[in-house]
Amino acid sequence: MSALADVIPLKPYQNSRLVLAAGPQLPEPARLYALVVLAFVLHQPTNCQNACKQCTETWPCPQVRLAYRLREAF
């Protein structure tokens, strides 16, 4: 007796909600580089332990390793 539920259509943003500007976006390499920099800012080692402040994994954490490899690819 299991029936599929009706699909609820998504409504576009209304006037009371935030409307995103449809301006020019950054090129893909610039957006990727911004994410790499953000990873370096957020994932830093702690002072007393050899762990990441953000994810508490052993430093350097997998996110920083990936960000470093991506940065070297530029």
pTM for this entry: 0.58
- Mean residue pLDDT of the chain comes to 78
The pLDDT value given to residue 25: 73
Alpha carbon distance 27, 43 (integer Å): 25
The pLDDT value given to residue 74: 62
pLDDT-derived band of residue 5, with 50, 70 and 90 as boundaries? low
Tell me how far the alpha carbon of residue 43 is from its chain's centroid. 12
The pLDDT value given to residue 4: 61
51 DSSP β-pair partners: 58
The string of pLDDT tens digits covering residues 11-46 is 555 555 555 666 677 778 888 888 899 999 999 998
